[in-house]
Amino acid sequence: MGRYDCYKKPARVPRTREQVVDLFNSFDKDGDGMLSKEELKAAFRELGSRWGGFRARRALSHADANHDGLISKEEIKDLVNYALECGYTLN
């Protein structure tokens, strides 16, 4: 291992829609079937976002159709579309 190997970024592979859905669903920590802003923030950090809070707010503005501050199972399609449009990939 060379002296700069630890600074290399891993190869990135596009995520599938199903992988993104599964990832978001895995962050439903309280099991209520909804994603809160804090759960979204953690999910976006897992996706590699440096600004998880910003992404969570933007995701809510894109996907929270009923403006209740949560992403429901019915709204997750729009959330996933937003995440994929942002270009999130596997590490």
Q: What type of residue sits at position 5?
A: D
Compute mean pLDDT per 10 residues along the chain, 91 residues long, and list them.
39 71 95 96 91 94 96 96 80 44
Residue among 77, 58, 60 at smallest CA distance from 68: 60
- Which distant-in-sequence residues (6+ apart) come within 8 Å of 44 by Cβ? 52, 55, 56, 59, 83, 88
Q: Where are the domains of the chain?
A: 17-85
* Superfamily (CATH H level) for 17-85: EF-hand (1.10.238.10)
CB within 8 A of 73, min separation 6: which ones? Answer: 33, 34
pLDDT at residue 86 in the model: 87
